[in-house]
C-alpha cells in the first residue's frame, strides 16, 4: 500500500473552506445546504439562519422556515445531546446513531431503580403523538415511571426512547419561548446503518478527518465510529502535518487545492459548525486565540470572522433608536478591513432590515 499523502495545514484550510460552502460558488437551496453540512447547531435560533446566510447567495430566512414546515429540514435534540437542524431524509439515521449512546448512559444511571423501560416507552409514544411541551413530557415521565426516573432525566428519557422533533415556529428566525415536540412518524434504521449514514455525511462536509474528529462531532465512542467506518468501505487516507491519520470517503475526489489561493472574508454566527466539528479545531481557529473564541466552561463559541480562511476576530451587533451597529474585534493582526466592512454591512442588512442607519466599526 502506498504511503498516505501528507496534507499541509494550508491545504486543509482551503479544502475545508470549499467543503463548508463558504466559497458561495454554487446556489443550493437551504435544505440541500443543511444536508451538505450534516447538522447545524440550533440552541440559539438565529444561528442556523446566519450560518446559511454566510454560505448561500441571496439566502432569506423564509427559505429555511419553509424547509422546516415541509419536513425537508428537522429540528431535534441529537448528537451530544444538543439541538440541531438536520436533513429530514437523514433524521431517522442520526436519531438511531445517537439513541444507542444516550440510552446506555440513562440505563447506567437507573440500573437499580426498577424502572420498566418498555412500559414507559409505550406510554410516552401514545402521549407524544400530539405536540407536547418539555414540561408536559417531564410530568408524564415522572408519572408513567412511577417516580423511578431521576428528576434530572425526566426529559432525557422521552428524547432517548422516542424520535421527537420540534414543532414550528421552533427553528424559525428569532423564534424563542418554550417549544413543543411531537413523535416523528418514521421507523429508525438498525445499527450500524444509522451511524454509517452520520459518518458519511460528516466526512462529506468536514473531511478529511481523524477518527477522533468523527467521534467528537457525533458524541460517540470510537468503537461505534469504527463499526460505521467499516460499513463505508476502504477510506481514502491522508496524513496531517503533525502526523495524524485523516480519513475521507472512498468515493471522495482527491484533495486538490491551490494553497496560495486567497480566501474571501466571512462572518460566522455563534456555534458555527465549521469551528466546532473537529477534536482539533486549528483547521480554521488558530490555537493562539482558541480560548478567546471558545469558552469551554459554558461551551459558548462566539460569533467570529474569517480572514483568508482563519478566524481573525469576533463580532457582535446592537440596534437601538433606528441605528444598527456591528462591532468587529480583531484578535490577530490582519488587513482587508474594507472587505470586512462591506461584508459587515451586508450582514447588518440581513439582521436589521428596518434600521434607518447601519454602521460597521472596529473595536480598538
Per-residue pLDDT tens digits for 34-60: 999 999 999 888 999 999 999 999 999
User: Which neighbouring-strand residues pair with 41?
Assistant: 84
Q: How many domains does the chain have?
A: 2
Question: Is residue 276 domain-resident?
Answer: no
Q: Where are the alpha helices (DSSP H) in the chain?
A: 9-19, 30-37, 46-53, 61-70, 91-109, 117-127, 134-144, 156-161, 193-206, 211-218, 222-232, 273-276, 290-293, 337-351
pLDDT digits (tens, 9 = 90+) for 240-287: 999 999 999 999 999 999 999 999 999 999 999 999 999 999 999 999
- Give the number of residues written for the chain: 364
**Assigned domain for 156 exists:** yes
Judge whether 269 lies within some domain. no
Q: What is the pLDDT of residue 244?
A: 95
What is d(CA 167, CA 275) in angstroms, rounded to the nearest whole number? 28
138: β partners: none
- Are residues 229 and 313 both part of a single domain? no
Q: Is residue 188 part of a domain?
A: yes
**What average pLDDT does the structure give for the chain?**
94
CA dihedral 176, 177, 182, 187 (to 10 degrees): 40
Give CA 287 to chain center in angstroms.
21
Residue with cell 450500524: 192
> pLDDT band at residue 31, thresholds of 50, 70 and 90?
very high
Q: Supply the range of the domain harboring residue 144.
A: 1-261
pLDDT of residue 83: 94
Residues 177, 304 within the same domain: no
Q: Are residues 353 and 230 in the same domain?
A: no
The domain boundary, picked from 228, 261, 294, lies at 261
Task: Pick the closest to residue 142 from 131, 152, 154 (CA basis).
Answer: 154
Helix (H, G, I), strand (E, B) or coil at 67: helix
pLDDT tens for 67-110 read 999 999 999 999 988 999 999 999 999 999 998 888 988 999 99
Give the span between the Cα atoms of 49 and 214, in whole angstroms: 24
Asked whether residue 280 is domain-assigned, the answer is no
Strand pairing partners for 314? 304, 329
Residues 295 and 231 in one domain: no
Residues 6+ apart with CB under 8 A from 241: 6, 7, 8, 9
Distances (CA, A) of 236 to 166, 251, 274: 37, 8, 21
For residue 337, is pLDDT > 70? yes
Please report how the helices 91-109 and 193-206 are oriented relative to each other, as an axis angle in degrees rounded to 10.
120
- Tell whether 329 and 214 lie within a shared domain: no
- Residue 67 and residue 154 share a domain: yes
- Same-domain status, 185 and 240: yes
Q: Would you state the pLDDT for residue 1? A: 60
302 and 238 belong to one structural domain: no
Name the helix (H) or strand (E) containing 83: strand 83-87
Of 126-130, 292-296, 349-353, least confident by mean pLDDT is 292-296
Could you report the per-residue pLDDT of 188-207, keeping only the tens digit for each?
998 889 999 999 999 999 99
pLDDT of residue 50: 97
Q: What is the mean pLDDT of residues 131-141?
A: 97
Q: Is 219 within a domain?
A: yes
Say whether both 94 and 162 belong to one domain: yes
Amino acid at each position: 500500500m502506498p504511503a498516505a499523502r501528507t496534507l499541509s495545514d494550508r491545504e486543509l484550510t482551503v479544502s475545508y473552506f470549499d467543503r463548508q460552502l463558504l466559497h458561495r460558488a454554487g446556489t443550493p437551496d437551504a435544505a440541500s445546504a443543511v444536508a451538505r453540512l450534516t447538522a447545524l447547531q440550533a440552541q440559539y435560533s438565529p444561528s442556523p439562519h446566519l450560518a446559511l446566510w454566510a454560505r448561500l447567495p441571496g439566502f432569506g430566512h423564509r427559505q429555511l422556515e419553509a424547509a422546516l414546515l415541509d419536513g425537508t429540514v428537522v429540528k431535534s435534540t441529537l448528537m451530544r445531546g444538543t439541538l440541531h437542524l438536520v436533513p429530514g431524509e437523514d433524521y431517522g439515521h442520526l436519531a438511531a446513531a445517537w439513541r444507542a449512546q444516550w440510552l446506555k448512559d440513562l440505563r447506567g444511571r437507573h440500573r437499580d431503580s426498577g424502572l420498566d423501560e418498555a412500559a414507559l416507552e409505550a406510554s410516552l409514544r401514545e402521549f407524544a403523538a400530539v405536540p407536547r411541551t418539555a414540561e408536559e413530557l417531564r410530568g408524564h415521565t415522572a408519572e408513567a415511571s412511577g417516580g423511578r426516573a431521576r428528576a434530572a432525566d425526566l426529559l432525557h428519557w422521552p428524547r432517548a426512547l422516542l424520535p421527537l422533533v420540534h414543532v414550528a415556529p421552533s427553528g424559525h428566525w428569532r423564534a424563542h419561548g418554550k417549544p413543543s415536540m411531537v413523535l416523528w412518524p418514521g421507523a429508525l434504521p438498525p445499527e450500524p446503518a444509522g451511524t454509517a449514514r452520520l459518518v458519511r455525511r460528516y466526512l462529506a462536509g468536514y473531511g478529511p478527518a481523524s477518527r477522533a474528529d468523527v467521534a467528537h462531532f457525533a458524541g460517540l465512542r470510537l468503537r461505534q465510529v469504527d463499526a460505521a467506518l467499516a460499513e463505508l468501505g476502504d477510506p481514502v487516507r491522508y496524513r496531517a502535518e503533525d502526523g495524524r491519520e485523516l480519513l475521507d470517503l472512498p468515493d471522495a475526489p482527491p484533495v486538490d487545492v491551490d494553497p496560495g489561493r486567497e480566501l474571501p472574508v466571512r462572518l460566522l454566527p455563534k456555534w458555527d459548525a465549521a469551528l466546532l466539528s473537529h477534536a482539533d479545531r486549528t483547521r480554521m481557529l488558530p490555537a493562539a486565540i482558541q480560548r478567546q473564541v471558545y469558552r469551554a466552561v459554558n461551551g459558548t463559541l462566539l460569533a467570529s470572522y474569517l480572514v483568508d480562511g482563519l478566524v481573525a476576530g469576533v463580532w457582535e451587533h446592537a440596534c437601538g433608536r433606528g441605528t444598527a451597529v456591528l462591532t468587529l474585534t480583531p484578535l490577530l493582526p490582519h488587513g482587508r478591513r474594507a472587505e470586512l466592512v462591506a461584508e459587515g454591512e451586508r450582514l447588518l442588512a440581513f439582521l436589521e432590515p428596518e434600521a434607518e442607519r447601519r454602521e460597521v466599526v472596529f473595536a480598538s
